[in-house]
Amino acid sequence: MNIRQNILLRVYLSFGLIVLFAVAVLVRLGDVQFVEGQKWRAMADSLSTKYVSVEAARGNIYSVDGSLLATSIPEYELRMDTYAGGIADDKVFNAKVDSLSLALSGFFKDKNAKAYSRYLRSARQDGQRYLLIKRKVDYQELKVIRTFPLYNIGKHTGGLIAVQQNKRIKPFKFLAARTIGYKNENVANGVGLEGAYGEYINGESGKRLMQRIAGGVWMPINDEAEVAPTEGADIISTIDINMQDLAQSALEKQLIASDAHHGAVVLMEVKTGEIRAIANYTKVAPGKYKETFNYAIAGNQDPGSTFKVASYMALLEDNMVDTNSMIGTGSYQIPGKLIKDSHGSIGVVTVKRAFEESSNAAIAQMVNTHYRNDQAKFTDHLYDWHLNEKLVLQIPGEAQPVVKNPKNTSWNKNMTLAQMAYGYEMQLTPLKMLSFYNAIANNGRYVAPIFVKEIRKLGNPIKQFQARVINEQIASPKTIRKMRALLEGVFTNGTGKSLASKFYPIAGKTGTAQVADGNRGYKANRQYQSSFCGYFPADNPKYSLIVVINDPKGAYYAALVAGPPFREIADRIYASDAQMYNKMSSHLVGNTVNPEAKSGPSKLVKKVYGAFGIKALYAAKTAKLDTNNGVAYEEFNTVKGLMPDIKGMGLKDALFLTGNAGLKTKVKGSGRVVAQSIAAGSRIGRGLALIIELQ
């Protein structure tokens, strides 16, 4: 074979291989296009589009009085498609972009109009279809922004893209904040009611189709979600916002006055177990306190003397002592410890008197003497009363109570029983202690506290809650009556005497306990916990209340530290609740004449009389009372240009009417209006002088 043939053979072979490769490529392209086309098109779509979850608006949380405690409001992230249909033409964009920049600059005030103009023009040159304009824009702001140049061309054509998100807010800010709680990515199950009822509040997420555009940015294809989210259910809590405000205010004031480390207050309705207020504060700086930890449900500590109610109840229930039995006070020696009364000895006194004066020596002696040979008999009472068990609350975070028994390895047969008698060698939360007092106030019926009354969906109840009964009768009615008498005696004759009210009876117990300073023990740095637990009014209990102040500086006795906020809260609640005035008839002379009220808007007058249970009548306009013991109301309808009749009014109402009429009013005296210098019905003009006399 010559050289020419050899070269031609190689050329033909190379050409044949190239043709064969080309045919193989064409066959493969046909296979991909026609045989596997659907598969690859679906894959391409999946890489350029996807569905993302759209968060549902979370349900609201309400107080028992209808106030809004937590809600979700829409918040928007503003984006811009710089090549949207209505502004795709450069002439349209360039004609309005500077006006838009000026509007954005004036509205947000974050950069000048030139900076906005450069930002928008540069984005258009780069072909951006999902340009970030602003985050965290509320709905009212969005309504204004939609009127700006370019954006006002049309919802879908002006380039503005508003991506809705949900922002959780608390209208009352710090009121009951820890109880309401929160939900975030760092806490698995959330905190408070937000966490406990997340399955109801969260709602069902929707779906939105997103498309990936240049730069790897995902942009919604449509304005609306393809699958609309379903908003969550509403929670009706047991919190009363006015009582909550009162509890937090009283607690914070006392913490500041005592320079204490932390404190807690819990207010509970006796019959229902509903928590009306719960407050927790921790010192974060000198004179400054915040809610950082829920001490009321998670703050386990030695309860101190407030626990004595359990010790006395056990003794009375077992007929070991009676309230008129005699017992020594001052000191009581047990192996390894001398138990002393902080106020010294008051001699040999009745059991009732020892309780009223909170004698540690007396209760330690009684419990140790009567249960020494059968120590489990005492702790069996505590276990029967479920003091060693959680309350199984509706919100997370409850601490496990620690109540020893003789089977525990830490039990000291010479010391533990006597020290438990006055509230040491155990761990109980303030809410646990309050619930036990509440059972005494409730004639022995022990109910678990509740924080949620109802769950509603679209205004309709889907789940309702009532307090779980822990024990129908924790002790015999006879023992309960004696315990209530002892608790009332604390205010009439004992450590709470300075806090007694002349308007209503209070029952309760002071508690001053030395608390351990971490691992350093009790003596390293003397810290005290002052507590006051009780209920009111004592003769017909409606509310139970506990106040706990931890590590107060200076005075630390409970009556001086925890007592004042207890009394302030009780006074304010009693004064604002007409239903607790069970002797209201004594305030009405012979109960035959309705109380006199100042003239004024009928709606307000009706509200006042309604609180007293006095019915409305619709008799003649001039009538005030009738023989049916009802009240007829007359609305004040003023006529422009005529002097209104303001006789009988209080100063506030009178000035409101005369001020609106444009009169210059001079006031003499105090009380209600008895005379006016311009007769009712006379023609008047703005700036006319008027003298009114009050008496």
Q: How confident is the model at residue 625 (pLDDT cuts 50, 70, 90)?
A: very low
Tell me: pLDDT of 469 over 80: yes
d(CA 253, CA 245): 12
Closest of 416, 193, 367 to residue 297, by C-alpha: 193
377 and 336 belong to one structural domain: yes
Tell me: pLDDT of 294 over 80: yes
CB atoms within 10 A of CB 111: 13
The amino acid at 126:
D
394 and 490 belong to one structural domain: yes
Find how far residue 71's CA is from the centre of its chain.
12
Decide which of 593 and 232 is more confident.
Answer: 232
pLDDT at 33: 72
Mean confidence (pLDDT) of the chain: 86
Burial per residue of 370-382, b for 16 or more beta-carbon CB atoms within 10 angstroms, e otherwise: bbeeebeebbebb
User: What percent of the chain stands above pLDDT 70?
Assistant: 85
23 and 98 belong to one structural domain: no
441 and 308 belong to one structural domain: yes
Find how far residue 162's CA is from the centre of its chain.
32
pLDDT at 205: 77
Number of domains in the chain: 4
Closest of 404, 445, 687, 674 to residue 544, by C-alpha: 445
d(CA 695, CA 672): 6
d(CA 382, CA 69): 37
Decide which of 651 and 305 is more confident.
Answer: 305
pLDDT at 663: 86
Decide which of 161 and 36 is more confident.
Answer: 161
Decide which of 317 and 178 is more confident.
Answer: 317
92 phi/psi in degrees, rounded to 5: -65, -45
**pTM, full prediction:** 0.72
Question: HSE of 15 in the Cβ direction (CA atoms, 13 Å)?
Answer: 6
29 and 75 belong to one structural domain: no
d(CA 671, CA 169): 44
The amino acid at 662:
G
Which DSSP category does 192 fall into? Answer: H
Decide which of 7 and 606 is more confident.
Answer: 7
Lowest mean pLDDT across 403-407, 558-562, 575-579: 575-579
User: 3-state DSSP call for residue 412?
Assistant: coil
Q: Is 492 exposed, middle or buried (0-12, 13-18, 19+ CB in 10 A)?
A: middle
Q: How confident is the model at residue 41 (pLDDT cuts 50, 70, 90)?
A: low
pLDDT digits (tens, 9 = 90+) for 628-658: 455 555 556 677 888 888 888 888 888 888 8
395 and 487 belong to one structural domain: yes
Instruction: List the CATH number of the domain containing 689.
Output: 3.30.10.20
pLDDT at 626: 42
Is position 624 within any domain? yes
Task: Report whether 629 contacts 594 (CB < 8 A).
Answer: yes
Is position 283 within any domain? yes
Q: How confident is the model at residue 587 (pLDDT cuts 50, 70, 90)?
A: very low
Residues facing residue 62 across a β-bridge: 68, 236
Beta strands in 540-630 (DSSP E): 543-550, 616-617
Q: How confident is the model at residue 519 (pLDDT cuts 50, 70, 90)?
A: low
420 and 285 belong to one structural domain: yes
Residues facing residue 282 across a β-bridge: 262, 290
Is position 554 within any domain? no
Highest mean predicted confidence (pLDDT) among 318-327, 512-521, 554-563: 318-327
521 and 659 belong to one structural domain: no
172 and 255 belong to one structural domain: no
Beta strand pairing call for 262-269 and 543-550:
antiparallel
Tell me: pLDDT of 619 over 70: no
pLDDT at 481: 97
Task: Report whether 578 contacts 612 (CB < 8 A).
Answer: yes
Tell me: pLDDT of 521 over 70: no
165 and 263 belong to one structural domain: no
pLDDT digits (tens, 9 = 90+) for 406-464: 999 999 999 999 999 999 999 999 999 999 999 999 999 999 999 999 999 888 899 99
Lowest mean pLDDT across 140-149, 165-174, 405-414: 165-174
Residue 180's domain comprises 52-237
Task: Report whether 565 contacts 559 (CB < 8 A).
Answer: no
Instruction: List the CATH number of the domain containing 85.
Output: 3.90.1310.10
CB atoms within 10 A of CB 548: 33
pLDDT at 155: 65
313 and 429 belong to one structural domain: yes
pLDDT digits (tens, 9 = 90+) for 197-246: 888 888 877 777 777 765 566 667 676 666 777 888 999 999 999 999 99
31 and 153 belong to one structural domain: no
pLDDT at 635: 59
pLDDT at 624: 40
Tell me: pLDDT of 39 over 70: no
Closest of 304, 251, 313, 312 to residue 282, by C-alpha: 251
**How far lies 99's CA from each of 96, 134, 558, 673, in Å?**
5, 17, 68, 60
Q: How confident is the model at residue 623 (pLDDT cuts 50, 70, 90)?
A: very low
